[in-house]
Structures are given as structure tokens and as C-alpha cells.
Amino acid sequence: MASPDIHEPAMSSQVEGASDYIPVGTESQWQLIRRRFRRHRLAVASLWVIALFLLVAIFAEFLSTNDPHDVQARYTYAPPQRLHFIDVQEDSGWRIQPHVFGYKVEVEPEALRRVFKIDEEKKIYVRFFVEGHDYNLFGLIPMNRHLIGTENPRDPLFLLGSDRLGRDVLSRLIYGTRISLSVGVIGVILSLVLGVVIGGLAGFYGGFFDAATQRTIEFLRSLPSIPLWMGLAAAMPPSWSALQVYFAITIILSLLGWTELARVVRGRFLALKGEDYVSAAIYDGASNLRVVLRHMVPAFTSHIITAASLAVPGMILAETALSFLGLGLQAPVISWGVLLQEAQNVRVLATAPWLLAPGAAIVIAVLAMNFVGDGLRDAADPYNNT
Amino acid sequence: MGFQKGGHKMSVGKTAVLVAALTAATCGQTAIAQDYSQAPDFQAQVDAGELPPLADRLPEPPLVLEPLEEVGKYGGTWRSALKGTFDNGWIRRTVAYQPLLAFDYNWAKVVPNIAESYEANEDATEYTFHLRKGHKWSDGEPFTAEDLAFALNDIMKNPDYSGEKAQGFDWANMTGEAIDDVTFKITLEKPDGLLLQQIASVNGPFFVQAPKHYCSQFVPTYNENAEQVAKDRGFDSWSQAIERVCFTNFTDEKRPTLNAWRQLTPYDGINQLIEFERNPYFFKVDPEGQQLPYIDRVTMVQSENVEDILLKVINGEVDFSNRHFATVTNKPVIYDGQEAGNYHLVSTIDARMNTGVLQFNLTHEDPAKRELYQNHDFRAALSMGIDRQEIVDVIYAGQGEPYQAAPRPESEFYNEELAKQYTEYDPDKANEMLDAMGLDQRNGDGIRLDKNGNPIRIQLYTPSDQVELNDIAQLIVGYWSDLGIDLDQRNVERSFVYETFQSNKHDLHMWWGDGGLGDAILDPRYYFPMNNESAFAYKWAQWFINPEGAGAEEPSDAAKKQIELYRELKASADPEKQAELFSQIIDIAQDEFWVIGTVLPAEGYAVAKNNLGNVPEAQPYAWIYPQPGPMGTSQFFFKD
Amino acid sequence: MTAYILRRLVAIVLTLLALSVVVFVVIQLPPGDFVTSYIARISGSGESIDQATIDALRAQYRLDDPVIVQYWAWLKGMLVGDFGFSFEMKRPVSEIFASRIGNSLAVEMLAVIVMWSVAIPIGIYSAVYQYSIGDYFATIIGFLGLALPNFLFALVLMYISYVWFGVTITGLYSPEYMNAHWSLAKFLDFCSHVWAPVLVISTAGSAQLIRVLRANLLDELNKPYVLTARAKGLKKSKVILRYPARVAMNPLISVVGWVLPTVISSSFVTAIVLNLPTLSPILLRALLSQDMYLAGALILFMGFLTMMGTLISDILLAWVDPRIRLGMAGAN
């Protein structure tokens, strides 16, 4: 991206900015942004958090300790096991060896539940790179190694507890991360394409097209989003496969999400059209396409990225809201929304709060993305030189 | 169901009090007043001249209700909750179960209720009901046989009436006649030996829900401005006015009633609290002559979600209920909350015989699928491929037993062979059977190919609001994939499930196993194709309903035999013969193995506050028998 | 100005018309109709329903008519103030509407007020002390409400208040006041319930307000007049509150337009979890049961509210800010 062409706008913004900050040599716009971004420490920290989430999403199979669909009849609503590192031997020696303790399980027929007690007699050693359930890494490379796991695959390992069917919450959370993040990212990319194309055209050409776009945007923004999602989501043929539903939900979310981006883009286009350097390019005989791509788009890429990064958490939250209403993705697909939908009852709050772990994941991810978006915005704002 | 044989005249009163009352009645009304007593607030109103004396309000004879445990005392409010605007079922179960004849507590026989006695002829074509003299609506107007004839002839049988009707009655077949004020006769063109049970069922009270003096204003036969009256009240048509006001919908608090409590606020979806207060004209007394009900008021909070209701329960804000919240999932929470909430759990006997009945579509439009699903061995093999014990362990914490769709062990129609056949988990044998059927070819994913070479893929839609059904289905997906069968299960909106199978577009349908106890004979939907819920052979069921009707198709010989037997059963007034015929139907169901069952539900539960008296223990739970209604909810009372 | 308002009003009417088409189509999209969902629901209690009744119901609700005919009938009715009939509640839509709109507006207005009163101090603080610990802390708090899914927050509040205080905070009134007339006691009871939904809804929207305010204030703070005022020795707090904060408030007016849809959307989910007697649960039910006239009218109303909100905020802006007012005149 850092091509020499964008020096022009960057320079002009600096001149206008009347700053207390004197450039030495020439820094590209991106270097400037990076420099300013670093001052928002919360945003920097958040960036690392997001990177972590992305890694989890990419290596979900490798990181998960259990098969997320595997039902373990004896371990329904098992509480989380604590991971111990120091292994005290019977002869009172010790060594560093991660392990968890097994469960003693009793059934209370009156209360219709299993009661779990930690069984300190039964040590289950946790090993690295153990063999477990089969998967294809990146959908291609067949593997069965996992980062951690038990020596004996039949031993229970529930680091975040298990759900009502005895499935491992941690592994489900890890798989859910992939689906939920990708809904957000793909949805935003779709909105971005729509928003940039439509907003750009409206801003560049103006006139009737602009007016029509404006009315459409106003119209879409006046729609109460949740009922509309509901209507569209309910209209999806139930015979669709999980993948189709996934894309349909993403498209529904982005269909209603592009308006904000289009508004930003149009606004920037209108503003830039009046800039001297754009006029200069036009008088210079540059084609429309060239003016737009070479001279205008680079000038507000940072704004687009900001708007987009702020839209991702919105998409993720929207996915959970749809799932809450029973209209989003459905089991057996695992997303944060699906996991939370299964957990949103008093039984879980009262007896199995570990099932709310996806809620924590959502809060952290959404906060981090918002802070990164804010950091970017602060950094990209040419007037903001504090 | 062995209720008293038709033709035998039954009477109610056996207690000394009642006998005394009856003899006293001949001496004049004033004498009775000394034998009966009433709630203090009514006494005060009578003393102030605002209310007629009790003797003028009670019919003769009143019904003497023997309490479950003890005679109670007046006072208190019974609190419970409704879900959404469409939960009139709970009102029908609690406040409004006052049919002409009622089921007894054990669901063993039909006993008089509003009617003091009844007679039936041998052919089961004429039924005569004797009402109580001086019985009055809650507004003090007399209740007579005219009211019954009005509800039957002028509403249900009215060809212009387009609203909801009571289920399970054949309207064209029945005509009502008011012989005199206290004698009502139903004449049938075709015999119906199940009519009395139908009247005692949850569908029966329609007879007393349309007081003629109030509801005739909406009926054009009686009021030429009926349509206008309906419009003025905000209804679309007179039919709709009747459906909302004079049927089972409780949207008009002014409608007079015979129930123990009369309504104060309408259940219209707008009010959040539906209130009822004691009916001064209620026709039941306790053995000591106290007019029932004991409890002053009944209140129901309208809530939008079950979690909210559950919180109210564990916070002690519900006095007696099991509506919506009493699920397997919620039991641990409710169990733990007993001490803090000052309530306890009482058991109920679930009349359902299965937590999930799998119904392959035997009348599938696709001939290949139809042939496959109709294959007895195919269904048997898939049944043996289900690890029911694991389902019990995972979903029901070990409570429940593997069971097919068959009458419950408590039922007189229990058939062990039907209940237990093919419930043994044996995937190897199941695989062998499937191989032997010629389904031994598999595709790359290990899915068996049918005779046309297509992989066997079965689509199953389960309603997303039924968590346990979905969980069972998900487990079955795993079991069947071990057999090389691709079960594609989806959670969808419940209405879509119905849309699918009621247009015969389903491969497999799954629903609760109704019809395990006394409802087996009235609603044998899983034993042979007989109503819209018989999803295993929807088209055959249509044939049973009407051979000429849309979508009807001639059933297989076995199903036809069952249908004939059931017709014969309905034509008989003799309960023993009915039972004998029904056993034959069950035997055929065993041979045919129409549907695949999963797990027999363990006992259910209800929540009762610790200071509530006469709480029913181990009461059957069903819809036809609208628990807790048949216990006589007017006997609930609060201890000190 | 008057011409401008008139033009906008005409646009609103046209938009509503378009919205009515979209709404009607969207409601019709899911398979089945009200009668199917009705059958599905009653089956839950073990009931079954015969074909004759089904046909009668379809005829009664005129569901067999073509969609165009149904839409036209609805539209015609609305033009004369008849918003149609709720299949499920068997009442005129307007009556249902009237019974709940008060509660809806009360909760939403309170939420907006709380939203502003939370967002303004946080926004000012985090702009003035940008990148301080306090800024980070305030922003995290402000954004928590946004990050926490509304339904989860509501459910947790509901459970916590049961465990800690032994009260069920669902609904807006305790049962004893539900059918009572307004009194001081009922008002206090209302206050003891309404805090929960207001908290959930307002926290969901305040993050956006904080962001707008912070960004605008940062712009203002760097303007020469502020530097001048500071250089002349005015106290920092005085400078900020007297000038930049006031200017930064302007954009807050312009967000009125989108605050409303946000509030309505988050109150939608919250009201269902907390069982509030507002319009939202009715709309959800209507959508699920395909009670189309009721759902249609409610969505139209929400759209109307949003559009009026935008219009009012534009008028306010013009009134406050001469530049916009003059720009508008120029456009004419």
C-alpha cells in the first residue's frame, strides 16, 4: 500500500494541520498512522488480543483438547478441572508435570443430576502434542496431533467444564471462535465492497444517483434492524445446509451493514472532490478511474479501515442476537451465539456458570476490536495532533 | 378405562350431610341454610343484603367434594404464571375444568360433575343428562338445559360458525335437546361409545362456556344485529366474537361462568395479571357443608419467557403449578430452591409413553423412500441401532427406561412385546439386517445406497423450542451414522415442522409420545393412523378421517383392519368390549411396528408451596385429562 | 425552513409506503402462515386439530387471498386509520398498541436520558485526559455495555437480583400493582423494576455516544481559541465546559436519529428476557406466529419513530447551528 503516490495527500494534511511536530525526511501516511496508533496503549494491547483470537481461529483443531461434538454420557455438566503443574509423587518427591484430577461421579435421582467431586486419587497427566481426534489442518493436511491432551484419550479433560451433553466447553469455544470471527470479518468485507462501490459512485457522480443512494441509505437505516433480520432469517429455507445458512446469515448482516460505510465513503468523496490536487489530476486529463483509484481512494483508506474495524464487533454481536432469537446459526454448527443460546437459562447460571465462557470471549473480542478501531481513528485523523 | 356401564343411573351424594340436605330440601329452602356455610366475605355481603342467601345460590343437591386429605379453611390467593398470550391451556386445566361429567382423580372412570347423573342407551346413540335444580351462573341467572342445547346446536353445529370448535366431537352426528330445565339429551346418528369420555375430557367444558343469556347476543339466530354487536366489541365477525368470548379463550371477564372462580381481568394479551375471585354461586361443598372453593383468589402472571417463570417458582412466587417450567433441565434448580422458596416437589405420572417417537413417513410421495420406510426390517434395524441407555444417561441423568411407542406399564393396555421389541442396542445385528435387506452397497462416505444407488439420506426437522427432542435427535444422528445412514437433523421453528409433515413432505417426524395412559383409547395416534398427528402415515390418517377427503389414500391391510376395529370400538357402549377391541388394535401395532420409540419418561413433578393443603400426589399428567383439574382444584386451601 | 420540513415530511410518507411493502413481503417470506403456526403451537399440549377447523380459520382470516389483495386491504385500512386486526389476540391492532406504547416510551426515554448522562461525563473526561489510566478505565466501563450481549446482561441481572436480594425484577410492576391505578406506591414499585432494563439498554448505546463526544471534543480542544484561552490563564475546567464542550454537544443532537433505532433494537431483546409489558414482546410473538397485521403495524411504527427522530435532530441542528441553516437555504 505504501506507494509514493500517497505522499501528496499526506503532505497536504500535514500542512493544514499546523502541527507542533516537524517531519524529518518524509514519512509515509502509514508510518504516521503507526506512530500515532502506538500512543493509544489500550489499542496496542487490544491488537495483541485480536491476534491471539485469530491464531485460535486458525489453529482451532490443533488447539482443541477434545472433539467438540463428542458426547461423553458420564460427564454431563462436569465442572472445570484445574490444571496443576507440580506433581507431588508418593515418595514426596516432586517434578513439573501438568496434570488434572479425575472426577467422582454420583447420580442424584431426586434432583435429576450428576454430582461431581474432584478425585485426588486419580491423576490424569496432560501431555503435549498427543494424538487425539482426526482433523484436516487448514482443511487440507490430515492430522491427529493436538497441542495438549491426556495420555489415555478416554480420560476426561474438561479445562472449562462440559455442557449438558458432556461435550468439552473449551473445545467448543475454540471452534466457535473460528465461526464467529469469520462471520464478522466476511460480513464486513461484503459490506465494505458494497459500501465503497455504492458510496464511492454516489460521492463521485453526485446528482440523481447520489440522491437515490441517499434515500436508500436513509430508508435502510430507518428500518428497525432486529425485526428485519428476524424476517429474513426466518425466511431461509430450513433445508439449506449449515454452510448455506452460514453464508446467508453473513449476507443478511452485511446487507444491512453497508450503509454506514457507504455514508463515510460518500462523505470523503464529496470532501476530496473539492481538493486542489484532485482537480489538478482531472485537469491533467486523468481518467475517472485513475483519479478515483490513484488519487482519492488512498486518501481515505485509513478511514475505511477504521470504519470497517468498528463494524466487525457489531457483526459478531448481531450474530449472537440472532442466535438468541433462535434464528441465527443452529446446532450442530458451533458459534459463540449458538453456545450462548444454549447457555442462556437459569439452570446454567445456577449450576453451570462455566457455560457462559463464550460470553466472556465475546466481551473481550468486542472490546478489543473497538479499542483498535478507536486507536486507528485517532491515528488516522489528520487534525488530531495531540 | 372401566367407567360405569351406560344405562346405569349414577348418583353422587353419599355423605350424611348431603342426605340431610336432600331431606331438608323437601321441607323448604330455609332449612338448608343452616347446614351449609360460606366464606366470611360472602356472609357479610348476605348480611348486608348485597347477595342472596347461600341456600338460594346453591343448587340442590350441591356436589359434595371429598377432599384429598382434609377439610380446609377459607382464604388466600393461588398464584401461578402463564406464558404469552396463548396459554389458555393452564386456565382450562386449573380454573375451567368443570365439564358435565368429569374424570375421577385416578383417571379410572367418569363421574358426575355439573350433571347430577346421566343415562345412556345400549346402542350408545342416546345420552341423557340430569342437571341440578336451581344451579346458577356466576351472575345469578339460572343455568338450564337450554344453555347446553344452545352451546351444541346453535354454536358448534351452526354451519355459519367459522371459529374454533371443541376437538374430538363429530358435530354432524350429534344433536342436543332440552327436554326440560334440568334434562338434556344428546341423540347420535351413529353410535359413539366414547362420547362420555370425550365429555369428561379437556374438550368437554365447551358445553358450559356459552351462557345462552349472555352469548346469544352474538348469534344471528337470536339477534339480528349480532354482526354489529361483534363489530362494536372490536371483533371481525360474530363467529370470532363467539370464539373469543364464549369458548375456551377467557378474553371477556364479564362472561358468566359455573367455575369455582369467576374472572376479574380478561386474558387478552394486554393485561399482565389475570385475576379470578370466588364464584358465589359455585355448586360444590365440602363434607362439612362449607361452600367451595376455599381459596379467595386465583392470579396468573403473564410472562414472555420460561426462565422468568422459573425464577418466580424458585423465589416462592408460585403456589401450585408445573406449567412450562417443570422440565428435566430445570429440575436440579427447582430441587435446590425448595428450602429458600418454601415449596416442595410433588410427583406426577406422565401419561406420555415416550420422550421422542420417530415416525418414518410410510406414505412418502417418493416411491423409493416409501418402499424403504415401509420395510419393517429397516425400521427394526434402525431401532436397534439406537443406544437408548446412553440417551437416558446423557439427557435424563439415568432416569427413564428404553421404550417403544406403547401404552405405559401402568396402563390396562400394556403390551410388553410392543413396549420392548427392538430396544436392545445391537449395532452389529442392525448392520447385518440392513446388509441382508440388500442395502450392502456404500458410497465413499460410508453411507449405504438404496436400490436406485442413491445414498440413504433422511431429513429430520425438530422444533427448536424442544431442547430435549433436539438433543435426542443429535445423539441419534451419531448412532445412525454408525449404521451407514445419513440422518440430517435441523432445529427449525415449530410451525415449519408442522407445515412440512402436514403437507406430507417429511421423511421422518419426531414428537412426544402422547397416549400412554387413559388417553390411549381417545388419542391412539401412534398405534394406528387416525388423526393429523399420525405423521407416520399422514395420508392413511386422512383416509380414516374422510376417505373422500383431500390427500386421503387407502391404507395398508393391517392399518385398515385397525381402522375397522376402532370404528367397531366407537360403536360399542360396552367398556369391556371397547377394551377388548383396543387390545386387538395394539396387537396389530406390535406386529406392524409403525413407529420407533426411544425412552419412557420418568415421573414428572409439580411445585407446591409448603402451606398449601390437599395437594395431589402422583396425579396423572396429560392433556385429555387436564391435570390438575380432575382433582377438583376448589379444594386447595392454605394452612396456617 | 418550512418548505424544508414539508419536503422531509413528504419523503417520510413515501418512505413509510416503501417500508410497508418491504415489511409485508418480509413477514410473508417464512413458509406457512398464521394458521400453521397456530396448529404447531396448540399441538404442544397434546392437542390435535381437524382439517375442517383449519380451513375455517384460513377462510376467517382471508389467508387464502393473494398477497397483493391482502396487502391492498391492509393499506386501504391504514389510510383511514384502521391498522388491521391481530389474528392471535383477536383485537384491533390500535388497541393493543395503545395499551403498551406508554410503557415502551417510558423505558426507552429513560434509557436515552441515562445514556446521555453516563456518556457525557465519560466522553469529556476521556477526551481531556486522553491516553491516561482514567481514560482507559472510563472507556472500558463505557464499552462494557456495548460488548456484553443485551440478553446475557439482562439474564445475569435477573438472576443476580434473585440470588442477592431475593426479588424477581422482571416486568415493570409487582403483581399487586399490575392492575392498579397510578399512585405513589405504584410509582415506587415501577422505579424498583425499571432500573434493570434501563441499565441494559442505556449501556448498550452509551459507548457510541462516548465515542462521538470524545472525537468531537478532541477536535475542539486543539483549536486555537482553546489554546489562547488557556494561554491567557483561564482554568482548564472552565475553558472546557464553557466553550469546547458546548460546541462538541452539537453532534450529539445529530445522533438523536440513530440513537432511537439502537435503543429500540436493544430494548427489543431486553424486554423479552425481562418480560417487560412493552411493544417488543408483542412484536416478537407476532413475528413468530406470523400475525402479520400486528407485526407490520409495529414495524412501521418503529420506522416512523426513527424517521421522525432524524427529522427532529436535523431541525434542531439547523436551529442551533447557523452554518447548516444557511446551507439549507442555499440548497433551496
In a 3-state reduction of DSSP, which class is residue B491? strand
Whether A183 and A159 map to the same domain: the answer is no
Whether A13 maps to a domain, the answer reads no
pLDDT beyond 60 at B170: yes
pLDDT at A72: 87
Rounded Cα gap, residues C209 and C259, in angstroms: 9
Backbone angles phi, psi at B131, to 5 degrees: -90, 175
Span(s) in chain C for CATH 1.10.3720.10: 93-331
Give the range among A327-336, B88-97, B592-601 with minimum mean pLDDT.
A327-336
Backbone angles phi, psi at B5, to 5 degrees: -65, 140
pLDDT beyond 80 at A17: no
Which of A236, A346, A348, A351 should be substituted to probe chain B, the one whose Cβ sees the most B Cβ atoms within 10 Å? A346
Backbone angles phi, psi at C255, to 5 degrees: -80, -10
pLDDT at B389: 93
Q: Is the CB of residue B494 less than 8 Å away from at least one CB of chain C?
A: yes
Q: Is the CB of residue C279 less than 8 Å away from at least one CB of chain B?
A: no
Residues of C in contact with A386 (CB under 8 A): 130, 218, 221-222
Choose the final residue of a domain: A134, A163, A192: A163
Rounded Cα gap, residues B296 and B291, in angstroms: 12
Grid look-up 380459520 returns C57
Whether A319 maps to a domain, the answer reads yes
| From B85, B240, B545, residue closest to C50, measured CB to CB | B545
How would you classify the pairing of strands B63-64 and B284-285?
parallel
Whether A159 and A196 map to the same domain: the answer is no
Beta carbons of C175 and B79 less than 8 Å apart: yes
Q: Is C188 exposed, middle or buried (0-12, 13-18, 19+ CB in 10 A)?
A: exposed
Whether A326 and A231 map to the same domain: the answer is yes
- Split at pLDDT 50, 70, 90, the class of B291 is very high
Beta carbons of C281 and B304 less than 8 Å apart: yes
Beta carbons of A111 and B335 less than 8 Å apart: yes
Q: Please give, rounded to a whole number of angstroms, the shortest distance from the CA of B519 to a CA of chain A.
A: 27
Rounded Cα gap, residues B244 and B235, in angstroms: 9
CB half-sphere exposure, B318, CA atoms < 13 A: 31
Average pLDDT over chain C reads: 79
pLDDT beyond 90 at B69: yes
Rounded Cα gap, residues C123 and C139, in angstroms: 8
pLDDT at A386: 41
- Split at pLDDT 50, 70, 90, the class of B595 is very high
Q: Please give, rounded to a whole number of angstroms, the shortest distance from the CA of B24 to a CA of chain C.
A: 43
Q: What's the distance, CA C292 to chain centroid?
A: 21
Mean pLDDT of A7-36: 55
- Split at pLDDT 50, 70, 90, the class of C48 is low
- Split at pLDDT 50, 70, 90, the class of B584 is very high
pLDDT beyond 70 at A183: yes
Q: Is the CB of residue B577 less than 8 Å away from at least one CB of chain C?
A: no
Per residue, what are the HEC states of chain A? Answer: CCCHHHHHHHHHHHHHHCCCCCCCCCCCHHHHHHHHHHHCHHHHHHHHHHHHHHHHHHCHHHHCCCCCCCCCHHHCCCCCCCCEEEEECCCCCEEEEEEEEEEEEEEECCCCEEEEEEEEEEEEEEEEEEEEEEEEECCCEEEEEEEEEECCCCCCCCCCCECCCCCEHHHHHHHHHHHHHHHHHHHHHHHHHHHHHHHHHHHHHCHHHHHHHHHHHHHHHHCCHHHHHHHHHHCCCCCCCHHHHHHHHHHHHHHHHHHHHHHHHHHHHHHHHCCHHHHHHHHCCCCHHHHHHHHHHHHHHHHHHHHHHHHHHHHHHHHHHHHHCCCCCCCCCCCHHHHHHHHCCHHHHHHCHHHHHHHHHHHHHHHHHHHHHHHHHHHHCCCCCC
Which cell is B504 given?
406430507
pLDDT beyond 60 at A186: yes
CB B396 within 8 A of CB B546: no
Which of residues 148 through 167 in chain C touch B, CB cutoff 8 A? 155, 158-159, 162, 166-167
Residues of B in contact with C155 (CB under 8 A): 307
Our count of domains for chain A comes to 2
Touching subunits of B (3+ CB pairs, under 8 Å) are A, C
Average pLDDT over chain A reads: 80
- Split at pLDDT 50, 70, 90, the class of B377 is very high
Whether A168 maps to a domain, the answer reads no
Backbone angles phi, psi at B606, to 5 degrees: -130, 165
Grid look-up 420422550 returns B355
Beta carbons of C151 and A324 less than 8 Å apart: yes
Residues of B in contact with A78 (CB under 8 A): none
* Nearest residue to B258 via CA among B460, B104, B33, B57: B57
The CATH number assigned to the domain holding A286 equals: 1.10.3720.10
Q: Compare all CA atoms of chain B with the CA of C37 and give the residue at the minimum distance.
A: B495
> Can the peptide bond before residue C66 be classed as cis, meaning omega within 30 degrees of 0?
no
Whether A194 and A118 map to the same domain: the answer is no
Which of residues 74 through 93 in chain B touch C, CB cutoff 8 A? 79, 84-86, 89
Choose the final residue of a domain: A163, A187, A220: A163
H-type alpha helices, chain C: 2-28, 34-43, 51-60, 67-79, 93-128, 133-147, 150-165, 175-178, 184-221, 224-231, 236-242, 244-254, 256-273, 279-288, 292-320, 322-331
Element (H, E) at B340: helix B338-341
Beta carbons of A362 and C149 less than 8 Å apart: yes
Choose the final residue of a domain: A163, A181, A205: A163
Q: What's the distance, CA A188 to chain centroid?
A: 10
Beta carbons of C268 and A224 less than 8 Å apart: yes
pLDDT beyond 60 at B630: yes
Beta carbons of B336 and A344 less than 8 Å apart: no
Whether A248 and A358 map to the same domain: the answer is yes
CB B529 within 8 A of CB B585: no
Q: Choose between C86 and B288: higher pLDDT.
A: B288
pLDDT beyond 60 at C324: no
CB B573 within 8 A of CB B193: yes
Touching subunits of C (3+ CB pairs, under 8 Å) are A, B
pLDDT at A381: 62
pLDDT beyond 60 at B13: no
Report the b/e string of A211-238 with b at 16+ CB within 10 A.
Answer: eebeeebbbbbbbbbbbbbbbbbbbbeb
Q: What is the pLDDT of residues A77-106, one digit of tens each?
A: 999 998 888 887 777 777 888 888 889 988
Q: Please give, rounded to a whole number of angstroms, the shortest distance from the CA of A326 to a CA of chain B.
A: 7
Q: What's the distance, CA C317 to chain centroid?
A: 21
Which of residues 108 through 127 in chain B touch C, CB cutoff 8 A? none
Cβ neighbours of residue A178 closer than 8 Å, sequence gap 6 or more: A56, A57, A58, A60
Mean pLDDT of B164-171: 84
Touching subunits of A (3+ CB pairs, under 8 Å) are B, C
Q: Is the CB of residue B140 less than 8 Å away from at least one CB of chain C?
A: no
pLDDT at A14: 41
Whether A125 and A177 map to the same domain: the answer is no
Q: Choose between B614 and A329: higher pLDDT.
A: B614
Q: Please give, rounded to a whole number of angstroms, the shortest distance from the CA of B399 to a CA of chain A.
A: 7
Rounded Cα gap, residues B482 and B428, in angstroms: 10
> Can the peptide bond before residue B555 be classed as cis, meaning omega within 30 degrees of 0?
no
Distances (CA, A) of C119 to B56, B102, C107, C310: 68, 63, 18, 20
Q: Please give, rounded to a whole number of angstroms, the shortest distance from the CA of A115 to a CA of chain B.
A: 10
* Nearest residue to B91 via CA among B348, B347, B323: B323
Q: What is the pLDDT of residues A111-164, one digit of tens each?
A: 888 899 988 888 888 888 888 888 887 777 888 888 888 888 788 889 999 998
Q: Is the CB of residue B173 less than 8 Å away from at least one CB of chain C?
A: no
Whether A139 and A257 map to the same domain: the answer is no
pLDDT beyond 70 at B435: yes
Whether A385 maps to a domain, the answer reads no
Beta carbons of A227 and C156 less than 8 Å apart: no
Beta carbons of B270 and C46 less than 8 Å apart: no
Beta carbons of B394 and A239 less than 8 Å apart: no
Whether A338 maps to a domain, the answer reads yes
CB B32 within 8 A of CB B19: no
pLDDT at A2: 38
Q: Please give, rounded to a whole number of angstroms, the shortest distance from the CA of C226 to a CA of chain A.
A: 13
Whether A37 maps to a domain, the answer reads no
Which of B304, B313, B500 should be substituted to probe chain C, the one whose Cβ sees the most C Cβ atoms within 10 Å? B304
- CB–CB contacts below 8 A, A to B: 84
Beta carbons of B478 and A113 less than 8 Å apart: no
pLDDT beyond 70 at B485: yes
CB C307 within 8 A of CB C244: no
Q: Please give, rounded to a whole number of angstroms, the shortest distance from the CA of A72 to a CA of chain B.
A: 8
Whether A121 and A189 map to the same domain: the answer is no
Mean pLDDT of B13-40: 50
Q: Please give, rounded to a whole number of angstroms, the shortest distance from the CA of B14 to a CA of chain A.
A: 40
pLDDT at B24: 38
What CATH number does the domain located at C93-331 have?
1.10.3720.10
- Whole domain around residue A333: which residue ranges? 173-380
Mean pLDDT of C194-214: 84
Q: Compare all CA atoms of chain A with the CA of C143 and give the residue at the minimum distance.
A: A367
| From A39, A235, A367, residue closest to C140, measured CB to CB | A367
